[in-house]
């Protein structure tokens, strides 16, 4: 992602769509109906961000850490969001960044032109310190790096820009790509530490099972000693799970869907998705799009049975059967 892309994400309004009254919908010409359905398909590809307990906890801890780190000169505390795939880690991390950036914009409206409150990068697979530094440079829009520049040159340029732009929150996603069992992974970990020590910013990381992958050895213990951990996982089939389903169901824009159908199918949806919020969102959105494409205009159990979810969720379902 680049700075331009990040700002587009922050500025994007929540997905919305107003259904036409039944008579107006029935009276649409074939051409108008095609355009209307296409707009609804686009809407259901995004829908809404569900404020899960994970999103709220990451926002809470992130806000607290940015406050605690304001006057720290060194040894700033960071945040790690760790869990299985499709448990909402990236969503929570991005929402933390979006919330922080909007808050900074409101607080300093006259200084937005020269300020970059948040930086978001992904950890490069099989990365190196140079690749990591270039991820930061790419986000900031720095000129293409010449082969003559070494890693320190790039890192220093990145730090200089981030200091001038008063970056105070750095988001590093896909941190599981950092493998401390390899020399390259150790070097990249040291490079991340270099950034944390040279920038007056709070660092927040997200990745798969980081406490198992990252908190080993001397470097891992250093990371563990400086970071607050928020763990994500599958939701039990309880009141919160039903509330998540109800929120998604309320966001549907289908003409014949009976409200409460999905909520009453909470156990079925839990079995299909393994309680994973990412799998649930995919299943509901895909079913809504198929209901539009096939003209059913409602999500039924029969339709849901035809929608595949991710392989991990399918494997869990068959394993539990």
Q: What is the pLDDT of residues 139-193, one digit of tens each?
A: 999 988 777 788 888 999 999 999 999 999 999 999 999 888 888 888 888 888 8
On whether both 32 and 95 belong to a single domain, the answer is no
3-state secondary structure (DSSP) of residue 101: helix
Q: Are strands 118-122 and 78-83 parallel, antiparallel or unpaired?
A: unpaired
Number of domains composing the chain = 2
Q: Which residue has the tokens 């340029």?
A: 157
| Res 261: pLDDT | 97
On whether both 216 and 263 belong to a single domain, the answer is no
Query: Has residue 220 been placed in a domain?
Result: yes
On whether both 279 and 156 belong to a single domain, the answer is no
Q: Phi first, then psi: what are they for 224, rounded to 5°?
A: -60, -35
Query: Has residue 12 been placed in a domain?
Result: no
Query: Has residue 14 been placed in a domain?
Result: no
Query: Has residue 10 been placed in a domain?
Result: no
| Res 19: pLDDT | 97
Query: Has residue 98 been placed in a domain?
Result: yes
Domain termination residue (choose one: 183, 199, 231): 231
User: In terms of residue numbers, what domain contains 262?
Assistant: 23-49+235-320
Supply the Cα-derived Rg of the chain in whole angstroms.
Answer: 22
Task: Give dist(CA 78, CA 85) in Å, integer.
Answer: 21
Domain termination residue (choose one: 231, 260, 288): 231
On whether both 216 and 287 belong to a single domain, the answer is no
Query: Has residue 149 been placed in a domain?
Result: yes
Query: Has residue 4 been placed in a domain?
Result: no
Between vectors from CA 300 to CA 299 and to CA 303, what angle results, nearest 5°? 85
Q: What one-character-per-residue DSSP string does 48-86 give?
A: -----HHHHHHHHHHHHHHHHTTT-SS---EEEEEESTT
Q: Are 234 and 84 in contact (CB under 8 A)?
A: yes
Please identify every stretch of the chain with a pLDDT value under 50, giving residue numbers as ranges: none
| Res 182: pLDDT | 82
Does this model's pTM top 0.85? My answer is yes
On whether both 177 and 91 belong to a single domain, the answer is yes
Task: Give dist(CA 301, CA 99) in Å, integer.
Answer: 37
On whether both 252 and 295 belong to a single domain, the answer is yes
CA distances from 36 to 18, 33, 39, 266, 281 (A): 11, 5, 5, 30, 22
Q: Which residue has the tokens 């035809």?
A: 306
On whether both 171 and 285 belong to a single domain, the answer is no
Q: Phi first, then psi: what are they for 303, rounded to 5°?
A: -70, -45
| Res 188: pLDDT | 87
Query: Has residue 179 been placed in a domain?
Result: yes
Domain termination residue (choose one: 231, 262, 278): 231
């Amino acid at each position: 992602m680049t700075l331009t892309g990040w700002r587009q994400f922050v500025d994007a309004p929540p997905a919305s769509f107003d259904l036409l009254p039944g008579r107006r919908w029935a009276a649409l010409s074939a051409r108008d109906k095609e355009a209307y359905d296409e707009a609804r398909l686009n809407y259901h590809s995004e829908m809404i961000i569900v404020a899960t307990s994970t999103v709220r906890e990451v926002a809470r801890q992130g806000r607290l850490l940015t406050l605690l780190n304001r006057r720290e000169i060194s040894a700033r505390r960071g945040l790690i969001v760790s869990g299985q795939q499709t448990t909402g880690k990236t969503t929570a991390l991005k929402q933390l960044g979006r919330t922080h950036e909007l808050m900074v914009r409101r607080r300093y409206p006259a200084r937005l032109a020269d300020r970059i409150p948040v930086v978001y990068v992904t950890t490069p697979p099989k990365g190196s310190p140079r690749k990591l530094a270039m991820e930061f440079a790419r986000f900031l829009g720095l000129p293409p790096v010449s082969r003559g520049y070494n890693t320190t040159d790039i890192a220093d340029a990145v730090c200089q820009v981030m200091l001038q732009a008063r970056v105070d929150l750095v988001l590093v996603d896909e941190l599981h790509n950092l493998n401390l069992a390899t020399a390259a992974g150790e070097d990249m970990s040291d490079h991340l530490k270099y950034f944390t020590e040279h920038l007056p910013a709070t660092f927040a990381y997200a990745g798969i099972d980081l406490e198992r992958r990252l908190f080993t050895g001397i470097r891992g213990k250093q990371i563990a000693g400086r970071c607050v951990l928020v763990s994500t996982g599958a939701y039990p089939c309880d009141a919160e799970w039903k509330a998540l389903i109800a929120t998604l169901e309320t966001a549907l824009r289908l003409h014949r869907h009976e409200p409460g159908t999905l909520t009453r199918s909470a156990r079925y949806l839990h079995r299909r998705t393994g309680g994973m919020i990412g799998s649930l969102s995919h299943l509901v959105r895909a079913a809504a799009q198929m209901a539009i494409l096939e003209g059913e205009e409602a999500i039924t159990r029969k339709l849901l049975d035809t929608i595949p979810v991710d392989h991990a969720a399918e494997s869990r379902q068959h394993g539990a059967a």
